[in-house]
Every structure is written in C-alpha cells, then in structure tokens.
C-alpha cells in the first residue's frame, strides 16, 4: 500500500537558518503530494502541494519539488523564523483514492 516516510524529529534550529525536512514516499501510480503544518493549538493547514513530477509547490517561503525519480518531496526554507515553529506533515493522495496518507510528522522548533 501507499506510505510516506518522513524525517524523524524533533528538529531545533536557530532563527535565519536553512531548513530541510526530508520526505520520501511509496505509491503505485502518480500520487499528489502535500505538506501540511500544525501550529501549536491549531488544526492542520495545507502548506503547499504538487500534483505531478517536477512540479514545485511554494508558500510562505517554503518550497518542495516533486521528484519522481527519487520518490521524494523534501520541504525547504532558506531562512526560518520563530513563527515557523510547528509540526510538519508530509502526505500523499493517490488517484481514485480519496484519503490522505500521512507521514509521522516532524516537530520543528526555532530559537531566537
């Protein structure tokens, strides 16, 4: 079945550091890929998505590129802020299937 493997956390970085959170997937066919973010005390929010190979999703300074050859969708940000502290989830959705399959989540803490 479909699965998502996500970088283990927690991750702690200093403000303005470069961020990478790794995500790889296993799926039949051609899934869509997502990053969701859960800020403290809030619900899950879509951060960005990509629907086909080589697409780049971007939002709020975050980027992720759909790499079919490496089955990856790594999340990156060039300069993180304290407000980026949250739990980040990588997810996929396969064609003809309505459910999202999530990774285990990565807790990110940014220190001033």
Partner 1 sequence: GAGVSQSPSNKVTEKGKDVELRCDPISGHTALYWYRQSLGQGLEFLIYFQGNSAPDKSGLPSDRFSAERTGGSVSTLTIQRTQQEDSAVYLCASSPRPSGGYQETQYFGPGTRLLVL
Residues of this chain that bind partner 1 (CB under 8 A): 32, 36, 42-46, 49, 51-52, 89, 91, 93, 95-105
Residues in Cβ contact with 80 at an 8 Å cutoff, skipping those fewer than 6 apart: 13, 15, 16, 17, 18, 19, 108, 110
Tokens linked to 76? 């990156």
Tell the smallest beta-carbon distance from residue 99 to partner 1 (Å): 4
Tell the smallest beta-carbon distance from residue 66 to partner 1 (Å): 11
Tell the smallest beta-carbon distance from residue 52 to partner 1 (Å): 8
Tell the smallest beta-carbon distance from residue 97 to partner 1 (Å): 8
Q: Name which of 19 and 37 has its Cβ closer to partner 1.
A: 37
Q: Name which of 69 and 98 has its Cβ closer to partner 1.
A: 98
Q: Name which of 62 and 105 has its Cβ closer to partner 1.
A: 105
Q: Name which of 75 and 80 has its Cβ closer to partner 1.
A: 75
């Amino acid at each position: 079945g479909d699965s998502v493997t996500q970088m283990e956390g927690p991750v702690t970085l200093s403000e303005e550091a470069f961020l990478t959170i790794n995500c790889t997937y296993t799926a039949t066919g051609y899934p869509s890929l997502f990053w969701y973010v859960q800020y403290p005390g809030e619900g899950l929010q879509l951060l960005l998505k990509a629907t086909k190979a080589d697409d780049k999703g971007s939002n709020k300074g975050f980027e992720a590129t759909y790499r079919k050859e490496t089955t990856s969708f790594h999340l990156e940000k060039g300069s993180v802020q304290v407000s980026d502290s949250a739990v980040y989830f990588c997810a996929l959705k396969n064609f003809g299937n309505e459910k999202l399959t999530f990774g285990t989540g990565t807790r990110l803490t940014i220190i001033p």
